[in-house]
Copies of this chain bind each other. A is one copy, B any other.
C-alpha cells in the first residue's frame, strides 16, 4: 500500500506504546496523564446515565447534531462566562470527541504543508503528533517558568513571517511541565499577538486543576474580538476521560468552519455521553467535585515530593507544581531518561521520557512523572524504586 507522505512523520510510536504499557496490571505507572479512577463520582454518574436512558433515550442513542447537544453547549458557555467574565453564547461552543479531536481539527482547518506552528518548549506530545500530520514545520519557542518568552516569540514571528499560521500554548499547568503562565506574561502575549495574523490555540485541559484558590484567567478572557483565540476545554481531566466530551470555544464564524470538518471527522460526538455530562452538570456540583479531586492530587503531589527529596540524588532537579498532573524532572546533562525508563520497566515502574515533548531539538535528560493516578502507597513504592535506580544510574 502506498501511504501519504505525512506517514513518514508518524514514526514515534511512543505515546501509543505508553498508552498500552499503562494498561499492564502489574506496573506502577507514572506514565499516563489520567485522573484517578477512584475519584470518579460513580454514584452520580450511574444515576445520570439511568435518568438519561429513562427520559431521553431516543435522542441519547441517535446521532447528536454536529455542533453537539444544545443544552450542554449552553451549560459550557454559562460556566465559562461565570468563571472568566465572558459573554459566550452556545453558538460559540462546539462539542468535540475529547480535546485531542480539537487539536486534530485545528490542523485540518489551518495547516498547509510547510506552514509554521510555534510551540512552547517542551509541549504536549499529542499536539505535536496531531499537528505534525499536516506537514507543518514545528518550531520551539524558548519558555521559562513564567511561560513562553515574549522576546523569543516576537523573534520567531518576525523571522517566519506569514509562514506562521498557529501558536499552540497551554498556559495553565501545562503538559508536561505543569508550568503556569504569570498574569504579566499572559498580558504581554496578548499585546504582542494582536499585531500578527496568526491563530492561537489555547489548550486549557488542565486549567481547573489548581492547588490554589486564585487562578489565572485564560487568554481568551483578555479579549477575542478579532477571533484570533481558539480555546479548548475538556471534561477528561476534571471529570472522566471515558466519555470523550470536550469542547472548542471560538468566535461564531470560526466555529462554522470547524463544523464543516466535524461532520467529516466523525459526524457528531456520542449523544449519550454528552447528555450524561449535561445531566450531571444540571443536577450535581462539578465545582465541588473538582475541589475534591484537586485536594487528593495535591496530597499525592506532596507525597511524591517527599519521596523525591529523600530518595533521589541532589543532582536531579524538579519543579513543585501548583496544579495539574505532573512533576517534571531533569537528570544531569549527558544522562538519558530513556535509558532510565528501560531500567525502570524491568522493575515494573513507568514514566515518560522527556525527549518526545520537544517540538525541535530534543533534550533527552528530562522525565514526566504523573502523580494523580497512583495511590499514595504506589507513589511511595514506585518512587522509592525509581529513586534507587536513578542513584545507581547516575553513579555509573
Kindly provide the distance from the CB of A37 to the nearest chain B CB, expressed in whole angstroms: 4
Closest Cβ neighbor of A53 among chain B residues: B46
Chain A, 242-259, contact with B by CB distance < 8 Å: what is the 0/1 string?
111000000000100101
> Would A109 and B7 count as touching, CB distance under 8 A?
yes
> Would B16 and A260 count as touching, CB distance under 8 A?
yes
Give the size of the chain A interface in residues (CB under 8 angstroms): 80
> Would A266 and B4 count as touching, CB distance under 8 A?
no
CA distance A133 to B265 in the complex (A): 10
> Would B16 and A263 count as touching, CB distance under 8 A?
yes
> Would B242 and A63 count as touching, CB distance under 8 A?
yes
A126 contacts across to B, CB distance below 8 A: 263-264, 267
Whether, in the assembled complex, A223 has its beta carbon less than 8 Å from a beta carbon of chain B, the answer is no
> Would B45 and A263 count as touching, CB distance under 8 A?
no
> Would A260 and B100 count as touching, CB distance under 8 A?
no
**How many subunits of this chain does the assembly comprise?**
2
Kindly provide the distance from the CB of A289 to the nearest chain B CB, expressed in whole angstroms: 13
> Would B40 and A57 count as touching, CB distance under 8 A?
yes
A65 contacts across to B, CB distance below 8 A: 19-20, 23
In A154-203, the 8 Å CB interface with B consists of 162, 165, 197, 199
Partner-contacting stretch, out of A269-277, A316-324, A363-371, A378-386: A269-277
> Would A227 and B101 count as touching, CB distance under 8 A?
no
> Would B134 and A4 count as touching, CB distance under 8 A?
yes
> Would B260 and A7 count as touching, CB distance under 8 A?
yes
**In-complex Cβ contact of A269 among B20, B244, B257 (8 A):** B244
Kindly provide the distance from the CB of A64 to the nearest chain B CB, expressed in whole angstroms: 7
> Would B3 and A66 count as touching, CB distance under 8 A?
no
Residues on A lying within 8 angstroms of B by beta carbon are: 1-7, 10, 13, 15-16, 19-20, 23, 32, 34, 37-38, 40, 42, 45-46, 49-50, 53-54, 57-66, 97-98, 100-101, 104, 108-113, 115, 126, 129-130, 133-134, 162, 165, 197, 199, 227-228, 240-244, 254, 257, 259-261, 263-273
Apart from A64-B242, A100-B266, what 12 extra A-B contacts exist at CB < 8 Å?
A10-B260, A16-B66, A16-B260, A20-B66, A37-B61, A46-B53, A61-B240, A100-B265, A113-B113, A126-B264, A130-B265, A244-B268
